[in-house]
Amino acid sequence: MILITNLNTTIDKTHIVPHYKLNGVFRPQETIKVGGGKGINVARVLNKLKISCTVIGFLGGINTRSVKENFKKEKINFISIPIKGNSRDITIVVDPVHRSETVINEQGPAISTKEQRIFLQKFSSLIKRSHYLVLCGSQPPGLPLDFYGQLIYLSKRNKVFTILDTSGPPLRKSICSGPDLIKSNKNEFLYLIDQKRISFKRQTKDLLKKKISFIILTMGKKGCLGFDGKEWLRVMAPGIKKVSTVGSGDAFTAGLIFSFIKKYDFKQSLVFSTAVAAANALKIGAGNLDVSDIRALLPRVRSRALRT
C-alpha cells in the first residue's frame, strides 16, 4: 500500500481570469473549487497512472462534507482525522492569456494534542500495511516541528520506504530521522544546508551521514538534480508552453512512486517524473493531467551525469 499524508487539507479555489493584473477588478471566467493539499495532488496523479493509494490528513469546518464528497467522486481514498478548526482555503488566480498564476495560501488551523494523538493512532495502524510512505506539504500550527520525524521513525520501524517533501524548519528537523529520499526545490535545499550555494560533494557527504539514500532537487522548467548514493544526475525538462505549474512538484513525486513500483532505475525514474511534472503544467488544476501528454513528452527529456 502507498500511504500519503495530507496534514494541511485545503479547499482550493481556482479562478480563471484572462488579462489579470494588480490593482484591477475582475470577474472570473470560471471558478473551480475542490478539496486539495500536496498529498491530494500526489494521489490525483497516481489515480491517473492507475496506482491505488491511501491519504490520511486532518479535516474540519463547514466544508468537510463537500470535501469528502469531492474526494469520493474522484475515487481518492481519504481517511480524515476530524478537527475543531476550519481547514484552510487556497486561492489561485490563473491568467491563461499571459500564462501567469498567483497563489494565496491561508495558514492552517491549529491542531490540538488530542487530534494529534488520534492521527498517530490511525497512522500507526496504516503504516504496518504500507510499502511506501509519502510525507508532503507544510505542517499546520500546533504540531511539533519533528512531527514528520516521528512518522519517519514509525515507517523505518516497519521497513517502509519513505519520501519526505516539505520545507522550512520541519524539513531541517525531520531529516535527522533519516527518510530514504528527500525531495526539495533549490531554495528549500539551500535553507536546509544553511548555505548560499550548493557544494555537491560536501552536502552529499553530510546527508549520507543521516542515512538518506536519495536526494532530488527540482528546479521547475530547468528540470532536476538527483543523487542515488553514487552519482549526481542532471535531467533537463522539455520546453513547453506552460498553462499552470500549480501541483507540478507533487506530480513529480507521484511519478517517482510510479517509477519505483515499476522497478525503473534511478535515471529512468527522474526522466519519467520530469515528464509527469511537465504534463501537469499543460493544464489548469493540480493533478489534472493527461497520460498521453506524459508519453509525448518523455522522448524530449534529456539526462546526463554531473561531474562533482
| pLDDT tens readout for residues 98-139 | 888 899 888 889 999 999 999 999 999 999 999 999 999 989
- Cα gap 115→111, rounded to integer Å: 6
Does residue 220 sit within a domain? no
CATH number at residue 95: 3.40.1190.20
| Structural domain total, the chain | 1
Query: What residues contact residue 294 under an 8 Å CB cut-off, 6+ apart?
Result: 272, 275, 276, 279
Which residue from 171, 161, 177, 185 is spatially nearest to 259, judged by alpha carbons?
161
φ, ψ of residue 288 to 5 degrees: the values are -90, 60
Q: Is residue 121 part of a domain?
A: yes
CA 95 to chain centroid, in Å, comes to: 23
Q: Which residues on adjacent β-strands are paired with residue 165?
A: 136
Kindly state whether residue 305 falls inside one of the protein's structural domains.
Answer: no
Domain range for 168 is 2-214+240-299
Residue 304 lies in a domain: no
Residue 191 is assigned to a structural domain of this protein = yes
Domain assignment of residue 73, yes or no: yes
Question: Is the Cβ–Cβ distance between 124 and 154 less than 8 Å?
Answer: yes
- pLDDT for residue 211: 75
222 located within any domain:
no
- Measured in degrees and rounded to the nearest 5, phi and psi for residue 76 equal -95, 120
- Regions of the chain where pLDDT drops below 70: 191, 193-210, 308
In a domain, 233, yes or no: no
